[in-house]
Amino acid sequence: MSSRFTLLVASEDPVLDGLVQNAPVGLPHEKYLLGNPIALGPLIANSDSGVWALIEPVHFHATRDHLVLINPDQLTLSEPESSALLNAIADLFENDGFSDLKMIHPKQWIAKAATFRSLTTYSSAQAQGRNIDWWLPKDSSEMGLARRWRKLQNEIQMLWHIHPVNQRREAENLPMINSVWISGIGQKEDLQFPKTLTESDLLMGDSPFMKNYAEYHKTPYQNTFAIHQEKNTFAFFNQPKHIWSDLYQAVMDQKIELEIIDFPAHLKSQARQRYFSKNDFSQSKWIFWKKNRMPTWQDMLK
């Protein structure tokens, strides 16, 4: 019997230019994976108690009149660099109501953040490549928290500007780690996972978050693509088009039944779940020339 291979495709941000002031909190695939709120903090902390926040060391690129958040995945940051930067600001966090600031991954820190529980935040994935003014944390039920966070953020920026790690990075023409990004504030009870993920035998993906999911669910994990005919797999890759030909061949060889979950614009960010077996790629369904031909990845997203 074929195993199931579920491929989650990252969603586009539904926010249109000019309407960012009404931006929904969270990308559609983030809500699919975690529910609402998108509590990445407690997922990564993997703790039974406490309110946790995800803290990411980031680079803000200065344009003529605003700052743009650069995709953290594009930054090269070693563990010694990350540790040195964290140690330099630990007291600032402690003095402003955070506790237990620690590194989980060079690009992922966590801290207990009960004081900031009601702060509305956006993930770096949603804010990247944009003017950060629209995506900085906002007050919800308690006023003044967003201002407190911006003050702390400014203090960190000034301290890191002269930090030896950044001096070395500047000398090597690497982007300076010049700020931090907060998101995913919540507690364990906020987490809501889809059954497709929790019932999988193997989690797979090239994002640090997939490793976090695996550790939380105590599920085997690998960061590179492979077909495991005997295991139901849930995968989330940054560039799924690169694995498409291998997935297609595995379907045609009847090693797997493929499930693709994506979020087409015409469905207004609702998840679309489709299932494919060998028969679904027959000539009659895809109308390719005189014999079956592999559909392109773009064909699959239509």
Q: Give the per-residue pLDDT at 21.
A: 60
Which pLDDT score, from 0 to 100, does residue 76 have?
94
Amino acid at 255: K
Per DSSP, the three-state class of 126 is helix
pTM of the model: 0.90
Token pair belonging to 17: 């230019």
Strands 3-8, 233-236: pairing is: parallel
φ, ψ dihedrals at 44, nearest 5°: -75, -35
pLDDT for the residue 289 = 47
Residue ranges and CATH numbers for the domains of the chain are 3-12+193-301 (no CATH), 37-190 (3.30.70)
Phi-psi region of 218 (alpha: psi -120 to 50; beta: other; left: phi over 0): left
Mean pLDDT by 10 residues, the chain (302 residues): 90 62 82 93 93 98 92 94 98 96 96 96 92 92 96 97 97 97 96 95 92 95 94 96 96 95 85 92 56 82 86
What does the pLDDT read at residue 8?
A: 97
Measured in whole angstroms, how far is the alpha carbon of residue 267 from the centre of its chain?
22
How far, in Å, CA of 222 to CA of 101, rounded? Answer: 27
